[in-house]
Amino acid sequence: MNKGNKNSIVNYVLGTILGLAAGAIDVRLGDLLVTAVFVMLATMLLGLLRPERAWRWTVLVAVCVPLVQILAHSFLKEHIALSHIQLSFSGFLTGTVGAYAGAFARMGIDLLVLPEKHEPAVKADVTK
């Protein structure tokens, strides 16, 4: 197994753990604002670690919140209103913001710290 594939698996496991933690926070606290901020921070971290295809971190983390709510309602007999489950899908919005903010931050860090990695943009010669 190569190093890139191993890091990818670690990132997916980290994303799943963060998503389940976001769902647990939502079930315990019942506050969607805290959950949305946690989802944004989790996806920002994952977007910073693996900036390519940042949307996948939103899907991985944000889908866990309603999933954990449904599982808590089914197995732990937690009372969760249907409207609360529906509103938990708003984590996709904050997750998207976080994932792409992390990806853009990584792009900026790469440009500032590793300038030899990137070639400067070549301007087109329009006089020819």
Tens digit of each residue's pLDDT (9 = 90 or more) over 30-51:
888 999 999 999 999 999 999 9
| CA atoms of 18 and 26, how far apart (whole Å) | 12
Radius of gyration of the chain (CA): 19
Judge whether 51 lies within some domain: yes
Is the per-residue pLDDT at 57 higher than 90? yes
| CA atoms of 45 and 118, how far apart (whole Å) | 23
Judge whether 101 lies within some domain: yes
Q: Which two tokens stand for residue 17?
A: 């753990």
Q: For residue 20, give its domain range.
A: 3-117
Judge whether 77 lies within some domain: yes
Judge whether 123 lies within some domain: no
Comparing 73 with 4, the larger pLDDT belongs to: 73
C-alpha torsion angle, residues 25, 27, 28, 32 (rounded to 10) = 60
**Per-residue pLDDT at 128:** 53
Judge whether 122 lies within some domain: no
Judge whether 33 lies within some domain: yes
Spatial neighbors of 102 by CB under 8 A, at least 6 apart, are 43, 44, 45, 46, 47, 48, 49, 51, 54, 57
Categorize the per-residue pLDDT at 5 as very low, low, confident or very high, splitting at 50, 70 and 90.
Answer: low
Instruction: Provide the number of structural domains found in the chain.
Output: 1
Average pLDDT of the residues of the chain: 84
Is the per-residue pLDDT at 7 higher than 90? no
Q: Which two tokens stand for residue 29?
A: 């606290």
Judge whether 125 lies within some domain: no
Judge residue 116's burial from the number of C-beta atoms within 10 Å of its C-beta, 0-12 exposed, 13-18 middle, 19 or more buried: exposed
Residue 65 CA from chain centroid, whole number: 12
